[in-house]
């Protein structure tokens, strides 16, 4: 199968890790930590980043390999992609002088890049820009992945328009490989399967990335909390009290995230089962595997059902929510 050509929109922690991951796993020798060696018949070496966009003047005009390299080793030295200006339709960016282009200029550039899939990895809270990027991708004839919590893929109108052009619209809000929400969902699923009645649970995330800092904005925090909480709630066939969200930004944690869980359930004869757990993970790496799977699956996607399967597998707020196990089985059956 041919390569899949990808445009990265927003070269931050996740975008950089994605680029580094392609380089790291392209040799084919070291597969430790790689979830699926082949998806839709494609290896990581079949994923080619052909364009990158950002609005940060400190990044625009610089080489993608340089920026990705600042987040850790492994960025491709011969990756000949420079970062171009993106679009900005949200008010209130903290950047003094953002580097931007009009939506129509962006659409033309994206079309000319030859990308088949655009990955939207911009900061959360950029809801209008994310929606405009999706519309630009649609116009340019490029499939679109919305990893941000902006409500894009849940729009049935937009999904239909992508499908009519035989493109995939995937999202919303990436479900990390082994992040706070995926782990929480799996614990609830396991308790339900073992006949334990879940009563209450919470997940408090503390992180140190730019994205976590951004999430401290109360509007963004509450939006992400609602998405995480609803994604967890659907793992049980009954309602239980739960809360899941980012509670604090601590700069010295950097890319790592601590998730603190407390779950209270009833067992046989009402016996009490209580869990107190801590999970420590790296945000960027946690996103990398899922994104690598999603772009390869999009390249191999055939028919209307494929988009639904990809969304349920890789995202916290897909148009059609499935339990974590069902979503995984569906993806493996179709693509891996
Ligand atoms: N595991 C994970 O890290 C994870 C999981 C789920 C969702 N996400 C989502 O992925 C996205 C990226 O996360 P991150 O940690 O890389 O964030 P980040 O803050 O490190 O990077 C975001 C980048 O986007 C750029 N940007 C902002 N607005 C832009 C615009 N309008 N156009 C182009 N570029 C723009 C910023 O300059 C920055 O370089 C976030 O929306 C986050 O919610 C990440």
231 and 291 share one domain: no
Whole-number Å distance, alpha carbon 194 to ligand 1 midpoint, is 38
Q: What is the arithmetic mean of pLDDT over 302-309?
A: 93
Rounded distance between C-alpha atoms, residue 72 and residue 245, angstroms: 27
Q: Find the helix packing angle between 127-140 and 156-164, rounded to 10°.
A: 20
Q: Which residues line ligand 1 (CB under 6 A)?
A: 9-15, 53-56, 86, 88, 121-124, 126, 129, 147-149, 173-174, 176, 179, 209-211, 214, 283-284, 286-287
Rounded distance between C-alpha atoms, residue 228 and residue 317, angstroms: 8
Residue 270: exposure state from Cβ atoms within 10 A (0-12, 13-18, ≥19): exposed
53 and 65 share one domain: yes
95 CA closest ligand 1 atom index: 37
Whole-number Å distance, alpha carbon 204 to ligand 1 midpoint, is 21
pTM of the model: 0.96
Ligand 1: residue whose CA is nearest its atom 42:
148
Rounded distance between C-alpha atoms, residue 26 and residue 204, angstroms: 36
114 and 248 share one domain: no
Residue 9: exposure state from Cβ atoms within 10 A (0-12, 13-18, ≥19): buried
Residue-level pLDDT at 173: 96
Nearest 5°: CA angle at 13, between 10 and 15? 45
Residue-level pLDDT at 74: 62
Residue-level pLDDT at 313: 98
14 CA closest ligand 1 atom index: 16
Ligand 1: residue whose CA is nearest its atom 18:
12
Lowest mean pLDDT among 40-54, 62-76, 222-236: 62-76
214 CA closest ligand 1 atom index: 19
Query: What mean pLDDT value characterizes the chain?
Result: 95
Please determine, for residue 201, whether its predicted confidence score (pLDDT) is greater than 80.
Answer: yes
273 and 227 share one domain: yes
Please determine, for residue 114, whether its predicted confidence score (pLDDT) is greater than 80.
Answer: yes
Domain boundary among 281, 302, 318: 281
Please determine, for residue 130, whether its predicted confidence score (pLDDT) is greater than 80.
Answer: yes
Residue-level pLDDT at 284: 94
Query: Could you read off the pLDDT of 227-279 as tens digits, one per residue?
Result: 999 999 999 999 999 999 999 999 999 999 999 999 999 999 999 999 999 99
251 and 188 share one domain: yes
> The CATH number of the domain where 17 resides is what?
3.40.50.720
Q: What is the arithmetic mean of pLDDT over 285-309?
A: 96
Residue 109 tokens read as 């550039």
Full domain range(s) for residue 26: 4-175+285-335
Please determine, for residue 27, whether its predicted confidence score (pLDDT) is greater than 90.
Answer: no
Residue-level pLDDT at 175: 97
Please determine, for residue 153, whether its predicted confidence score (pLDDT) is greater than 90.
Answer: yes
Band (77; pLDDT cuts 50, 70, 90): low
Domain count for the chain:
2
Whole-number Å distance, alpha carbon 9 to ligand 1 midpoint, is 9
Domain boundary among 260, 281, 302: 281
Residue-level pLDDT at 70: 86
- The distance from CA 18 to its chain's CA centroid, rounded to whole angstroms, is 11
């Amino acid at each position: 199968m041919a390569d899949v050509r990808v445009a990265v929109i927003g070269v931050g922690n996740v975008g950089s890790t994605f680029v580094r991951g392609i380089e790291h796993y392209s040799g084919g020798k070291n597969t430790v930590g790689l979830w699926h060696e082949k998806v839709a018949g494609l290896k990581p070496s079949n994923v080619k980043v052909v364009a990158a966009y950002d609005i940060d003047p400190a990044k625009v005009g610089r080489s993608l390999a340089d920026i990705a390299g600042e987040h850790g080793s492994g960025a491709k030295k011969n990756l000949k992609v420079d970062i171009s200006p993106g679009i900005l339709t949200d008010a209130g960016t903290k950047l003094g002088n953002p580097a931007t282009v009009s939506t129509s200029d962006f659409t033309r550039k994206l079309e000319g890049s030859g990308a088949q899939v655009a990955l939207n990895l911009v900061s959360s809270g950029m809801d209008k820009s994310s929606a405009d990027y999706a519309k630009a991708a649609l116009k340019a004839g490029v499939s679109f992945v919305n990893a941000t919590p902006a409500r894009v893929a849940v729009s049935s109108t937009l999904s239909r328009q992508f499908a009519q052009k035989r493109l995939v619209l995937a999202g919303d809000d990436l479900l990390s490989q082994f992040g706070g929400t995926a782990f929480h969902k799996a614990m609830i699923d396991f308790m339900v399967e073992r006949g334990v009645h879940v009563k209450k649970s919470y997940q408090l995330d503390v992180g140190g990335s730019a994205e976590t800092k951004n999430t401290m904005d109360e509007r963004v925090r509450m939006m992400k909390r609602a998405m995480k909480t609803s994604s967890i709630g659907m793992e049980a066939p009954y309602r239980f009290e739960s809360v899941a969200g980012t509670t604090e930004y601590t700069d010295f944690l950097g890319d790592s995230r601590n998730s603190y869980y407390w779950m209270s359930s009833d067992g046989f004869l009402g016996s009490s089962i209580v869990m107190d757990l801590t999970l420590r993970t790296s945000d960027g790496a946690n996103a990398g595997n899922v994104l690598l799977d999603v772009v390869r699956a999009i390249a191999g996607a055939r028919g209307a059902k494929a988009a639904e399967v990809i969304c349920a597998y890789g995202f916290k707020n897909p148009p059609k929510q499935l339990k974590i196990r069902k979503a995984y089985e569906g993806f493996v059956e179709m693509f891996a």
